[in-house]
Amino acid sequence: MGRINNSGQLIPLLFIFILIFCLFWFTLLNVGKLMKDKIMMQNAADNSALTCSVLRARALNQLGLLNAILGLPAFGVYVPGLGFTIGKTSYVWWVEPPHKKIGKHTYKDKVKLARKAIKNLILLQDSIIKTYGGGTTYLYSRKIAKRQEIDSSNNETGADEIIPLTSFSLHLKRNSGDIIYLYTTEIYIPPTPITPEIWLWPIPYPYEIERKSKRWLQQDSKNFHKQMTKIIAYKRVDSLSNTGYPVGSGLLGLKKWPDIKTIASSCVYNKKGAMFPEENKNSFMIAFLEYIKAMSGGWYAQLVPVRKQFKH
């Protein structure tokens, strides 16, 4: 009778136990990754939305200040303003200093300068609107969402993409109206033994009338109050950070790894007022006065409830 060989008896049992432990371990790894991703994606959506609003607030504050300058009356002073309005017409008059040349003289240099200053100011405003009211804001928000997480090789493994559900537009319109540029006339007749000195300065005279020209910025009456941004940040199944996941898919029978989508809303607010005049208001210094009213408040950004579809 031979002796029974018992060696190796526990190996299959140990193998099964190790397999089961691995299953638990894999499950934990997968669930942990999913939850970490979900929290990170919510952060990505929040930060992306907040970035968008911060840029919007920055743009509105800059535009408000430029609008206030445009809203000043450039009548007799060297200010690039259109605020001196009578009816629907703005009058711009940069006074030429006196030259005291004998006779009647008209000077156009300062008018040309005033016109150029106003055009440049409007150009500057337009460039800010183009920059912040669309592409750049989207790019910044997208970058923030993507860089929410980076791997050891410095690859961006945050959100794959963002979907804006609202417009990035600043909801501002350009007020248009007639602008009359005035030049300065000077009449000087030196004194004689018989007649006294005659010096008439400054005398305004129309130099150029621009019909329906661009003036200050005003609210878009339909949308200006909608200063809210809603953004969805998502991570796809085939995202770079999902490489290798789910761990142990063969053992666990997992073939699908879920997409993760998160949503966030933010807005800009000003505690004092709108900062920009209402549509088609043309009263005296309206753009400047609206800015002064809302200046101490300023535009700020904050997170807000998403509402409707997904209520946070």
Partner 1 sequence: MNILKKLPNSVREILECCHKKQKGQTAVETFILTSTFLLVVFFGTIQITIICFNILTANEAVFMSNRSSIVQKNFENAQESAKLSCLYILSKQISKDNIFYYNIKLKREKFIHTASLTYYQKVMFLGRYFYKGIVNSKMAISSSIDFLDKAYPGAKKWEE
Q: C-beta of 294: minimal distance to partner 1 in Å?
A: 7
Q: Does 247 bind partner 1 (CB under 8 A)?
A: no
One residue of 76, 134, 204, 273 binding partner 1 per CB under 8 A: 273
DSSP string of 203-234, one letter each residue: EEEEEEEEEEEEEEEEE-TTTTT--EEEEEEE
Encode 251-289: b = buried (16+ Cβ within 10 Å), e = exposed: eeeeeebeebbbbbbbbbebeeebbbbeeeebeebbbbe
Please give the angle made by the CA atoms of 127, 130 and 131, to the nearest 5 degrees.
85
**Which residues in 141-200 contact partner 1 (CB under 8 A)?**
none
Helical pair 135-146 and 109-132, crossing angle rounded to 10 deg: 30
Q: Is 275 left (phi over 0), alpha (psi -120 to 50) or beta?
A: left
Nearer to partner 1, 100 or 222 (CB): 222
Nearer to partner 1, 24 or 153 (CB): 24
Nearer to partner 1, 184 or 270 (CB): 270
Q: C-beta of 253: minimal distance to partner 1 in Å?
A: 18
- Phi and psi at 263, nearest 5°, equal -130, 145
Q: Does 286 bind partner 1 (CB under 8 A)?
A: no
Nearer to partner 1, 75 or 269 (CB): 269
Spatial separation of the C-alpha atoms in residues 76 and 215, rounded to whole Å: 19
Nearer to partner 1, 204 or 297 (CB): 297
Give the H or E element holding residue 18.
helix 11-70
- Pull the structure tokens for residue 181: 């540029």
Q: Does 271 bind partner 1 (CB under 8 A)?
A: yes
Q: Does 39 bind partner 1 (CB under 8 A)?
A: yes
Nearer to partner 1, 189 or 247 (CB): 247
One residue of 88, 100, 212, 272 binding partner 1 per CB under 8 A: 272
One residue of 184, 213, 241, 270 binding partner 1 per CB under 8 A: 270
Residue 51: exposure state from Cβ atoms within 10 A (0-12, 13-18, ≥19): buried
Strand pairing report for 89-93 and 172-189: parallel
Q: Does 104 bind partner 1 (CB under 8 A)?
A: no
List contacts with partner 1 (CB under 8 A): 1, 4, 6, 9-10, 13, 17, 20-21, 24-25, 27-28, 31-32, 35, 38-39, 42, 46, 224-228, 265, 267-275, 294, 297, 300, 302-305, 307-308, 312
